A and B are shown apart, each in its own frame.
Chain A
């Protein structure tokens, strides 16, 4: 083909089925599936089963679950799926920080193999050698990428990995008789969980704010550290996509104060093979397998937060660890200083398998290519978005960014009254998604774009064209934007029902009670 498709705004309308609630599909007597009956002979031997249980333990009224035939259940959830946009359908670059990249289908196929899906975690390790090898090799690859000495795949998400890091910080200081250290330092552009998980473990949280360059300053950090400092949890690049070149200095200052340093590399998509936690001096880091390593987000999990530590801290990792003696893989739970268990069994093994397959498909050079193209795509977007009327990229003027940028619609909002939220809702009319950003909104009217390596230039151009179209609409017909969405599944939702205890309806039964809706 000689001619490239010109980036255009796609005429779009999302599926809108006006689908009932599952409870409204109830027809007494219908069945979706039949449980296998017990075999002949069992009842003769033990009776009806329930008679052997204490009468008080027997449920008197059956649960009011709907009774729905199989095809209708299928149709119901398929319709709901059509009323959803995943990365497989949209150009999913508007959820910056979350790395909405391509999740190869082959990895899902492999994870669904009964040789993985039907494994029980407590099987004899001799029957789990393939899965344990995958976990061990993934550990080795992540060591190479980070420079850390040992990984645990037990944390089920990034936030869980942060909690594990905080737990290790606490165990480490207690082990040294320094349990009085009760402060953890983080930055405002680090993930909310860096602050929140520290508070869960009883720490006082000290948050550093950015300077005019968009970065926290070493001077502020020096003022914050002291004998109460337990540790530092910091993202880099932060949500702004600006790399903190003094990151090793941050680590040094905290180490000198006696604290440990945890690198939040939930999103490491711009730095694979480029820069590592080890060279910056960190004691720990973690990677979100569902971000950088290509495993699907699943509407919010299952996910994986691989946690790496230096040799000095490996004894604190959650148990068990996968060991390899050159012949066999085994599980080692004999770590006396371990923080114990933080998730059932070994973590999300199917996610680990997908990450393993993703890494193997790319190899060392491919991983670096992922990051380089992700950074190229990001700087391409940076260049183009700054040309859109009303949009800007605060901080670090004229500098390149790593994998994402936090932008602002402040000027557009000032000039038109249209907010980021309005634009986000209008994006739905074009089959796109745009996320505001994590709170608090330090950047006014924020939005965060992270193009990853997965989308073609054509797709990036299409997304840009939509942003430009909505900017134009904001200046010429702002009401269209302020009343969006118009071509999505529903119109603007009344938010009052969510914050009023008299009206909130978290379940069908509460909705019946509060809205007096008739049962279908």
Chain B
């Protein structure tokens, strides 16, 4: 239609033919094609892109995409016991309100003047995390826990001038693969033995392998399999005795009630802030943190942005900026520390809102709720014939192994049967930890009601009974 041809695409104002013609005239070009004169014909792509025709109407676009999304079943529609590093926690309305603000959502890299708010919000995030972790320093978020753990180990390597890292053998296998990919071949990543009954670190193995070449010892608390590592202070003592740093991965959502790793000797603490007000988004909500003490030598090893507060020309006024920018690859390319770029800043701002809302009481209440509910789930499960929960001895926080070996069923089969009843069973561990046989990792959050747990146990009992 001729009338349509006079109109532009809603996202491209200057696609209006008349405007285009006037702009071409203003630059003395006869056609758009002239502007591509530097691209040789042999490199030109002359076919139409194999992509469907545009859905220019927003209403139709929405209908199309919502049609696709309708094929998903979300955790909001069912009972979910999935965790393993990403958890369905409650997201306060104000977290969404702030993280969807145009001013934050569509900003990027302005100066600390016109983008003052971004700097202050992220500086506050750093400070709130520092209180939660009881450490001095926390970075602007990196991609996720994988990256945070990897960078923590590389930082320890540079700090100590050593290249071996001893890593608890039962951390998440995916996380271990990511750590290996990031650290090798510059560092050697070795896994430590674990007590098969409890999952905790084999201290004899640690002692045997610690020597003057070890840069860092790394474990997670709670561990990937949910157990609490109770020997943190002893591990710190051993690591420090060998001149190595202690790096601990932690769930920040646990720290309203659990001892922060710095208090048993961690030099670096890392983890993920998805649980702090960020939607799971199928794993897209992950964002990593790295915290440490205010020691110049350690701070200078961060690749991340670190925002600081400072005075301005006006007495009493404050502003923000990058601390020790010269560390970064932005300043010195390959001579900088690792690399820095866009990562997950908005998740950090959201986490700041979350922590400000929760306060110390909220974080404690959350921790109490999760421990109580997880213990309740374990107790109910343990009463189901053939099921053992927790599958590992000792204390746990919000996740624990459930041992189904006594049921004669595979976790895969059980989970399929649960799925048919609107229940997402726990993460199947039979591939990741063959030693545990048919076991699954169950996680509860405050989003799972007691009635759902009770119904789940009834359904599970029926499934297992119908052998």
Given A14-B114, A32-B359: A124 and B419 interface contact (C-beta under 8 Å) = yes
Cβ of A113 to closest chain B Cβ, rounded Å: 5
Contact B180 A340 (CB under 8 A): yes
Contact B107 A367 (CB under 8 A): no
Q: A48-B372, A499-B324 are in contact. List 11 more A-B contacts (CB 8 A).
A: A90-B114, A123-B82, A159-B342, A290-B342, A300-B109, A300-B305, A300-B344, A493-B312, A494-B312, A498-B322, A507-B130
A362 to B58, CA, bound (A): 11
A196 to B282, CA, bound (A): 30
7 closest A-B pairs by CB: A363-B54, A345-B283, A32-B357, A159-B341, A86-B106, A497-B310, A300-B345
List A contacts of B103 (CB < 8 A). 81-82, 84-86, 88-89
List B contacts of A80 (CB < 8 A). 116-118, 120-121
Contact B105 A296 (CB under 8 A): yes
- Per-residue 0/1 for A392-431: is the Cβ within 8 Å of any B Cβ (1 yes, 0 no)? 0000000110100000000000000000000011011001
A340 to B258, CA, bound (A): 32
Contact A400 B38 (CB under 8 A): yes
Is B463 an interface position by the 8 A CB rule? no
Name the one of A68, A343, A369 contacting B146, with C-beta atoms under 8 angstroms.
A343
Is B131 an interface position by the 8 A CB rule? yes
Is B169 an interface position by the 8 A CB rule? no
- Per-residue 0/1 for B326-353: is the Cβ within 8 Å of any A Cβ (1 yes, 0 no)? 1001111111101111111111010011
Given A84-B116, A504-B323, A508-B127: A35 and B70 interface contact (C-beta under 8 Å) = no
Cβ of A337 to closest chain B Cβ, rounded Å: 13
Contact B312 A160 (CB under 8 A): no
Contact A131 B113 (CB under 8 A): no
Minimal Cβ-Cβ distance residue in B for A134: B68
Is B194 an interface position by the 8 A CB rule? no
Cβ of B198 to closest chain A Cβ, rounded Å: 12
A372 to B137, CA, bound (A): 46
Name the one of A73, A202, A344, A492 contacting B145, with C-beta atoms under 8 angstroms.
A344
Contact B369 A38 (CB under 8 A): yes
Contact A133 B71 (CB under 8 A): yes
Is B460 an interface position by the 8 A CB rule? no
- Per-residue 0/1 for B293-334: is the Cβ within 8 Å of any A Cβ (1 yes, 0 no)? 010100100000111111111100111111111100111111
Of the candidate stretches A224-232, A352-360, A471-479, the one touching chain B is A352-360
Cβ of A271 to closest chain B Cβ, rounded Å: 8
Of the candidate stretches B8-16, B206-214, B239-247, B401-409, the one touching chain A is B8-16
Contact A85 B110 (CB under 8 A): yes
Contact B296 A501 (CB under 8 A): yes
Contact B65 A506 (CB under 8 A): no
Name the one of B27, B101, B105, B255 contacting A380, with C-beta atoms under 8 angstroms.
B27
Is B450 an interface position by the 8 A CB rule? yes
Cβ of B421 to closest chain A Cβ, rounded Å: 13
Is B203 an interface position by the 8 A CB rule? no
Is A64 an interface position by the 8 A CB rule? yes
* Contact-residue size bin, chain A (C-beta under 8 Å from the other chain): 35 or more
List B contacts of A207 (CB < 8 A). 333
List B contacts of A499 (CB < 8 A). 323-326
A124 to B414, CA, bound (A): 12
List B contacts of A312 (CB < 8 A). none
Minimal Cβ-Cβ distance residue in A for B274: A344
Q: List 11 A-B contacts (CB under 8 A).
A: A23-B124, A57-B259, A63-B132, A65-B355, A86-B105, A120-B82, A300-B343, A367-B51, A368-B49, A438-B330, A488-B113
Is B413 an interface position by the 8 A CB rule? no
Is A449 an interface position by the 8 A CB rule? no
List B contacts of A1 (CB < 8 A). none
Is A152 an interface position by the 8 A CB rule? no
A373 to B342, CA, bound (A): 26
Contact A505 B369 (CB under 8 A): no
Name the one of B100, B137, B356 contacting A112, with C-beta atoms under 8 angstroms.
B100
Is A139 an interface position by the 8 A CB rule? no
Minimal Cβ-Cβ distance residue in A for B102: A88
Given A193-B329, A372-B32: A62 and B308 interface contact (C-beta under 8 Å) = no
Contact A115 B131 (CB under 8 A): no
List B contacts of A351 (CB < 8 A). 284
List A contacts of B355 (CB < 8 A). 65
List B contacts of A46 (CB < 8 A). 372, 375-376, 379
Contact A366 B9 (CB under 8 A): yes
Name the one of B11, B65, B339, B362 contacting A33, with C-beta atoms under 8 angstroms.
B362
Name the one of A92, A144, A191, A344 contacting B174, with C-beta atoms under 8 angstroms.
A344
Contact A119 B97 (CB under 8 A): no
Given A66-B356, A506-B306: A340 and B181 interface contact (C-beta under 8 Å) = yes
List A contacts of B72 (CB < 8 A). 115-116, 119, 127-131
A272 to B54, CA, bound (A): 14
List A contacts of B64 (CB < 8 A). 360
Contact A508 B146 (CB under 8 A): no
Contact B84 A122 (CB under 8 A): yes
A23 to B352, CA, bound (A): 11
Which positions 262-291 of chain B face chain A at CB distance < 8 Å?
263-264, 272, 279-287
Given A341-B146, A493-B319: A131 and B39 interface contact (C-beta under 8 Å) = no
- Per-residue 0/1 for A320-339: is the Cβ within 8 Å of any B Cβ (1 yes, 0 no)? 00000000000000000001
Contact A346 B283 (CB under 8 A): yes
A201 to B183, CA, bound (A): 7
Is A2 an interface position by the 8 A CB rule? no
Is A376 an interface position by the 8 A CB rule? yes
Given A159-B339, A280-B43, A380-B26: A85 and B115 interface contact (C-beta under 8 Å) = yes
A156 to B281, CA, bound (A): 13
Minimal Cβ-Cβ distance residue in A for B133: A63
Cβ of B123 to closest chain A Cβ, rounded Å: 8
Is B80 an interface position by the 8 A CB rule? yes
Contact A39 B112 (CB under 8 A): no
Contact A53 B395 (CB under 8 A): yes
A380 to B27, CA, bound (A): 6
Cβ of B336 to closest chain A Cβ, rounded Å: 6
List A contacts of B9 (CB < 8 A). 362, 366, 369
Contact A73 B338 (CB under 8 A): no
Is B122 an interface position by the 8 A CB rule? yes
List B contacts of A209 (CB < 8 A). none
A272 to B72, CA, bound (A): 31
Name the one of B112, B147, B180, B365 contacting A35, with C-beta atoms under 8 angstroms.
B365
Given A108-B105, A485-B113, A493-B320: A42 and B68 interface contact (C-beta under 8 Å) = no
List A contacts of B80 (CB < 8 A). 120, 123
Minimal Cβ-Cβ distance residue in B for A454: B11
Contact A506 B308 (CB under 8 A): yes
List B contacts of A30 (CB < 8 A). 359
Is B155 an interface position by the 8 A CB rule? no
A428 to B345, CA, bound (A): 22
Cβ of B126 to closest chain A Cβ, rounded Å: 5
Name the one of B105, B308, B334 contacting A298, with C-beta atoms under 8 angstroms.
B105
Is A181 an interface position by the 8 A CB rule? no
Cβ of A300 to closest chain B Cβ, rounded Å: 3
List A contacts of B115 (CB < 8 A). 84-85, 299, 433
Contact B108 A163 (CB under 8 A): no
A110 to B75, CA, bound (A): 17
List A contacts of B449 (CB < 8 A). 39
List A contacts of B76 (CB < 8 A). 114, 118
Cβ of B277 to closest chain A Cβ, rounded Å: 10
Is B182 an interface position by the 8 A CB rule? yes
A64 to B129, CA, bound (A): 10
Which positions 209-243 of chain B face chain A at CB distance < 8 Å?
228, 230, 233
List A contacts of B45 (CB < 8 A). 147, 273-276, 279
Cβ of B151 to closest chain A Cβ, rounded Å: 10
Residue from the set B40, B114, B283, B359 with the largest chain A CB neighbour count within 10 Å: B114
Contact A365 B53 (CB under 8 A): yes
Given A144-B49, A509-B136: A83 and B116 interface contact (C-beta under 8 Å) = yes
Is B202 an interface position by the 8 A CB rule? no
Cβ of B288 to closest chain A Cβ, rounded Å: 9
Given A65-B131, A77-B121, A439-B330: A425 and B395 interface contact (C-beta under 8 Å) = no
